[in-house]
């Protein structure tokens, strides 16, 4: 009986610590793609001059739980897409930084991914593209799924 109450106490303490952590956490940037999202995001001109740039559409997608819960979706195959939003300046010194996002592929892709890049404040958003440093991506190559993480530090990959 004492062992069971010790386990329950441990669970309670863990739960309390978890609540404290959530309470002191700070959300730096959150996007739900509701009204006005276009004013917060800048579509890059990357690949436009070559005719290889795709456009985004605001949609709940083909499969959804709520038709009003929308995001942005690429609108054509075999194109390049780049869009960015500025976030407030912050520091994560002595703190853990969590970068989280959701991606939903509604069709099978042979080779491609949904990239996210956390950038410095010195990026020209209209020129944002594939060579812009820092990236994290769920990626698919010939039915093999994997994660890529590329870090850029001190002007080198």
Round the CA-based radius of gyration of the chain to a whole number and report it. Answer: 20
Distance (Å, rounded) from C-alpha 25 to C-alpha 92?
A: 11
119: CATH: 2.60.120.200
Question: How many domains is the chain partitioned into structurally?
Answer: 1
Assess if residue 66 is contained within a domain.
Answer: yes
pTM: 0.71
Assess if residue 86 is contained within a domain.
Answer: yes
Assess if residue 20 is contained within a domain.
Answer: no
Domain boundaries, position 88: 29-150
Assess if residue 47 is contained within a domain.
Answer: yes
Assess if residue 155 is contained within a domain.
Answer: no
Assess if residue 62 is contained within a domain.
Answer: yes
Distance (Å, rounded) from C-alpha 132 to C-alpha 124?
A: 10
From first to last of its 157 residues, the chain has per-residue pLDDT tens of: 555 677 888 888 877 777 777 667 788 999 999 999 999 999 999 999 999 999 999 999 999 999 999 999 998 888 989 999 999 888 888 888 888 888 888 887 777 777 788 887 778 899 988 888 766 556 666 666 665 666 555 555 4
Assess if residue 19 is contained within a domain.
Answer: no
């Amino acid at each position: 009986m004492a062992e069971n109450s010790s386990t329950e106490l441990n669970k309670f303490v863990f739960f309390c610590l978890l609540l404290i952590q959530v309470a002191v956490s700070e959300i730096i940037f959150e996007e739900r793609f509701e009204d006005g999202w276009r004013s917060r995001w800048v579509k890059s001109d990357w690949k436009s001059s070559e005719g290889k740039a795709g456009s985004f559409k605001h949609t709940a997608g083909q499969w959804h739980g709520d038709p009003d819960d929308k995001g942005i979706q690429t609108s054509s195959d075999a194109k390049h897409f780049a869009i960015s939003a500025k976030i407030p300046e912050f520091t994560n010194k002595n703190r853990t930084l969590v970068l989280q996002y959701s991606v939903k592929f509604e069709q099978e892709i042979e080779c491609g991914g949904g990239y996210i890049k956390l950038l410095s404040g010195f990026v020209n958003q209209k020129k944002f593209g594939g060579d812009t440093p820092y990236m994290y991506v769920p990626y698919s190559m010939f039915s093999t799924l994997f994660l890529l993480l590329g870090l850029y530090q001190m002007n080198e990959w």
